[in-house]
Structure 1
Amino acid sequence: MIKSLYTRVVLTFLVSVIGGTVISFLMATWLFRDKLNENMQIPLLHFGKDIVRIYDTFPLAEADAFVRGINQLSSYHIRIYEETGQFQSYGKLNGNKPARVTMEQVRQVLAGDIIQVNPSRVSTILLGLPLPTDAGTKALFVESTGPPSTPFLLKWLLNFSLYSLGSGSLLILVAARFLVRPIQKLTMATRRIAAGDFNVRLNIKQKGELGTLARSFEEMSHDLQQLEQMRREFVSNVSHEVQSPLTSISGYALALKQIDIADSERSRYLDIIITEAQRMSKMSDSLLKLSLLESQSQQLQLTTFSLDEQVRRVIVALQPQWSARGISFDLHLKTALLTADHDQFNQVWTNLIGNSIKFSGDGGVISVSIKQDSKSVSVRISDTGIGISREDQKRIFDRFFKADRSHSRKYSGSGMGLAIVKQIVMLHQGDIRVESELGQGTSFIVTMPVTTPAD
């Protein structure tokens, strides 16, 4: 099977040229068959009659001597046969193989017939005439050893070239249609994508460069379709998340314009406005941070640090949150070193442990453990909180997604934390997964390679 587009184009060109040449040769030969035969036959006949007149005019010996000296023998070859089959030849073959003469042909000529031999039905290559001499009738066979006349040959070549050009061009046009059809499909698909239609199927079965291009194009179309869907969801989510605090800020700002409002109510309204503004600021900061992570424009500052010590420091930093609610920690932190961006992983543990604290009940227990082998190190953070449904677990790492929307007011947040965590882990060639049951708690497992991504 021919897979390469280059090979296909070359073979198509060669087949078209060779096929056009063969077709045009057959057409030109068929159209000029009679003229070509006439062009070869008439000179042979005239030359043969001239030889007959020489032998009719001179005695046999003088005629033989005269024939041997004529100039036309440079383009003709003569054989004079006896009844016994013996013959004498005159002239040079110029490297050509003499035409075959049978005894049946010799007898026909001796009987007075004029025969011509043209096995291809295109041109006469051998002409036989009776040759009366003073020693009796003999058989004269004349064949041409030179090319056809120049004017006729030029005319034949001109027509042959025209037919070759026409038939070859027709074949190339037909073949090019099959080569260009996939490109036309790609062009139309490109226009559809440019118009916003990403649901494109090319159905190109080829396996060469065009097939690879078509499959890559379909994959790109699928990715663009997903990207467009994500963009729409992003705009919808941002609008929804921003609308709520803006509504609160606008409403309480209008309430502050009232003259007879109490100082305590005014202070409460201002606190709400400040809280909502901080919420919007935090969401904006999270969006910017996630955008930088996804674009990889933020360079990783790789350092080797103690992973267990980093986790302990994060837990200590979050003490005001968990100690106020009577939450305790069960730590199994095996000594481990990690080569990664220290600040980014500090944010990973802050988000994960912060979520465990947020969704755990008062007096709950959060377990944190570290395991390491020769290839990777894993951190497991488990709580005894409200848990996550199996359906929500599929989208838990999507930005703006919040499991258990009915408690969204109780558990404040922008829904960006886990999306940022996953992006940081993926940038470090790691993996994060969730295990959870409703009402039984949640576990997040982060697995990182021991070696650095650059290694």
Structure 2
Amino acid sequence: MASTTMFEGRKNNFIEETLVKDGKTIIEAYQSNPAAELGTFVQGFSGLSIYSIQLFNKESMPMLEAKELIPVEQTTIKQVLDGSIARGFDTESHGFPVVGVPFSVRGDPYALFLTLDKQTVAQEQENMPWIHAVYILVLVIGSFLILIAARYVVHPIVQLTEATKRVAKGTFDSANLPMKRRDEIGQLSVSFHEMATELAKLDHMRQDFVSSVSHEIQSPLTSISGFTKALKHKKLSEESRLRYLTIIEEESERLSRLGQNLLQLSYLQQEDHPLKVTTYRLDEQLRRVVITIEPLWTAKEIKMDIELEAITVLADQDQLDQVWINLLNNAIKFTAPNGTIRIQSMDKTQHNIVSITDSGIGIPEEELVNVFKPFHKVDKARSHSVGGNGLGLSIVKKIIDMHSGEIHVSSSLDSGTTFTVSLPRGN
């Protein structure tokens, strides 16, 4: 009898120490990867081990859905939250030791309580007569399962942490993430991979944008610098001097237009950019824009074929002015002298449709998907000869998007181009 009591005491002490050790293992596993959600992380160990686990927050409220309640006094919870390790016995249910281990996350205290799972131990007792051996076997298996669970939970989080560090340094490689898992970590990995892919695209776009801006600025600056140096020579004829000055003036204006377009595009891309909407006649706006740019199309003797239905819209009139001016300027630039530009407006059931068709040089089919990208030029040699910096259609697309509309382009080489704008009907 005395030896049994002594053995029971040593056994309980061994269980308590093992519980404390495994509790600290769980805490250390979480603290090495604090990005994980605490409740979900600890709950994972509860499902994979032979322990009953409960977690209390600083208000002494339980955070886990436990298989059975661990009877813990509020005073004991407060003791652990204050930083002390608690040891005791669950004498009311099955007599197994209960331990409480303190830890903190970002300054907030938590209390982790562990005891043996009653049902698991009961099953082992039914199958094996030697209960003392069962206790030891249970603790060994439990410790082994915790180590496996720690690796199962922690390893993918380590992979995510390393991928995050690579993204922070500008390397958007997320191919090694555990995206085939069906749990929350797998979903997080898929979301991280999608984010890294989008960031890679944005970084590529940023590099292209910087390269394009640098090219567009450097080209006129080179011309201005070269012709300015040429003007220093006193032997230039008056005709050459005027020609050089004209080129310098044109390149300066080109730089000015580039700066204005960049500012406008940046302004439109601001999320809080407000639209000053009013109700007005769209057909009258189109007629006014055609009259405004009359010197441009009459100089090339272009015929304007206008067919406009009476349409009332609710939109930002100044912004749509910019849309029609940009589209018509493009049509005039790439239409040969004595060509034709046709402007139509139609009032449909759900949308108002405006189409602008020219008889110009057209756009290759493979280029159509890129025409609205900043600085994109279908034929850079021809585009440069007629001016422009490749921002006009980007501005047009952004303004149409802000009006919840759509713009489409159809074209073929030497057969002209049609831009079709669809705007929601005003109330």
Q: Indicate whether the TM-score tops 0.5.
A: yes
| Per-residue Cα deviation, 1:94-122 (whole angstroms, up to 9, x for no partner) | xxxxxxxxxxxxxxxxxxxxxxxxx9856
Name the SS of the counterpart of 2:331 in structure 1.
helix
Structure 1 pair 439/24, CA: closer, same or farther in 2 (3 Å)? closer
Paired residue total: 327
The answer to whether structure 1 residue 235 and structure 2 residue 268 are counterparts is no
- Quote how far apart the aligned CAs of 1:17 are: 3.8
Whole-angstrom distance in 1 between the partners of 2:162 and 2:142: 29
* Whole-Å separation in 2 of the counterparts to 1:346 and 1:256: 40
Note the alpha carbon deviations across 1:159-210, whole angstroms, 9 max, x for none: 96x8866654442232132122332221111112122221322242234433
Does 2:155 match 1:181? Answer: yes
Q: What code does the residue aligned with 1:198 have?
A: F
- The 3-state SS of whatever aligns with 1:409 is helix
Shift of 1:271: 2.0
Q: What is the CA deviation profile of residues 192-250 of structure 1, one whole-angstrom value per residue up to 9, with x for unaligned ones?
A: 21222213222422344333322221111111111111111112212221221011100
One-letter code aligned to 1:313: R
Structure 1 residue 440 and structure 2 residue 409: aligned? no
Aligned to 1:16: 49
Q: In structure 2, do the counterparts of structure 1 residues 239 and 14 end up closer, same or farther at CA, with 3 Å as the change threshold? A: closer
**Aligned equivalents of 1:414, 1:257: Cα separation in 2:** 30
Deviation at 1:356, TM superposition (A): 0.8
Structure 1 residues 395 and 362: CA distance shift in structure 2, 3 A: same
Matched, 1:320 2:295: yes
Choose which of 134, 152, 169 in structure 2 pairs with 1:195: 169
Task: Mark the CA change 1:172 to 1:193 in structure 2 (over 3 Å): closer, same or farther.
Answer: same
Higher relative contact order (Cα pairs below 8 Å, separated by 6+ residues): 1
Identical aligned residues as a percent: 41
Query: Does the Cα contact within 8 Å between 2:300 and 2:337 map onto a contact in 1?
Result: yes
Q: Distance in 1 between matches of 2:242 and 2:385?
A: 22
CA contact (8 A) 1:385 1:440 kept: yes
- Do the aligned residues in 2 keep the contact of 1:21 with 1:168 (CA within 8 Å)? no
Q: Distance in 2 between matches of 1:321 and 1:374?
A: 35
Which residue is 1:212 aligned to? 187
- Residue aligning to 2:307: 332
**Counterparts in 2 of 1:185 and 1:293: CA distance versus 1, 3 Å:** same
Contact 2:280 2:313 in 1 (8 A): yes
Cα deviations by residue, 1:291-350 (Å, 9 ceiling, x for unpaired): 222233432112222111111111000100111211111111111112121111100000
Give the distance between the partners of 1:6 and 1:428, measured in 2 at CA: 45
Alignment match of 2:146 (pick from 172, 177, 182): 172
Task: In structure 2, give the amino acid aligned to 1:417.
Answer: G
Q: CA deviation at 1:282?
A: 0.6
What does 1:116-135 align with in structure 2 at a 5 Å threshold? none
Instruction: Name the counterpart of 1:247.
Output: 222
Mapped contact 2:48–2:149 kept (Cα < 8 A): no
* Amino acid aligned to 1:430: G
C-alpha displacement of 1:431: 0.8
Alignment partner of 1:263 is 2:296: no
Give 3-state SS (helix, strand or coil) of 1:363's partner: coil
Distance between the aligned counterparts of 1:362 and 1:412, measured in 2?
17
Contact 1:182 1:204 in 2 (8 A): no
Closer/same/farther in 2, CA of residues 208 and 450 from structure 1, 3 Å limit? farther
> Do the aligned partners of residues 299 and 411 (structure 1) sit closer, same or farther apart at CA in structure 2, a change above 3 Å counting?
same
Structure 2 residue runs of 5 or longer lacking an equivalent are 1-36, 53-115
SS of residue paired to 2:374:
coil
Q: Is the 8 A contact 1:21 1:164 kept in 2?
A: no
Query: Which of 357, 370, 373 is the aligned partner of 2:348?
Result: 373
Selected match of 1:417 from 385, 392, 395: 392
- When Rg is computed on C-alpha atoms for both structures, the one with the higher figure is 1
Give the drift of 1:269.
1.8
Distance 1:304 1:190 in 2: 49
- What code does the residue aligned with 2:160 have? L
The residue type equivalent to 1:175 in the other structure is A
Q: How far is the alpha carbon of 1:383 from its aligned partner?
A: 0.8
Amino acid in the other structure paired with 1:12: F
Per the TM alignment, residue 259 of structure 1 is displaced from its structure 2 partner at its CA by 2.4
Mapped contact 2:312–2:426 kept (Cα < 8 A): no
One-letter amino acid of the structure 1 residue matched with residue 394 of structure 2: A
CA–CA separation in structure 1 for the residues paired with 2:241 and 2:300 = 30
Report the Cα distance in structure 2 between the residues aligned to 1:359 and 1:23, rounded to whole angstroms: 83
Report the residue type matching 2:337 in the other structure: D
Query: Which amino acid in structure 2 is aligned with residue 444 of structure 1?
Result: F
Match for 1:199: what amino acid?
Answer: D
Residues 371 and 163 of structure 1: CA distance in aligned 2, closer, same or farther (over 3 Å): same
Conserved 8 A contact 1:23-1:167: no
Normalising by structure 2, we get a TM-score of: 0.69
Residue identity in the other structure for 1:316: I
Verify the 8 A CA contact 1:307 1:338 in the aligned structure 2. yes
* 1:53-101 deviation per Cα after TM superposition (whole angstroms, max 9, x unaligned): xxxxxxxxxxxxxxxxxxxxxxxxxxxxxxxxxxxxxxxxxxxxxxxxx
Instruction: State yes or no: 1:382 paired with 2:357.
Output: yes
Deviations 1:249-285 (A, max 9, x none): 0001111111233333323222211211110111111
Q: How does 1:8-407 map to 2 (within 5 A)?
A: 9-10=42-43, 12-18=45-51, 21=117, 167-201=141-175, 202-407=177-382
Q: Which residue does 1:92 correspond to in 2?
A: none
Partner Cα distance (1:392, 1:368) in 2: 23
For 1:10, the aligned partner's letter is Q
Could you tell me whether the CA contact under 8 Å between 2:179 and 2:187 is conserved in 1? no
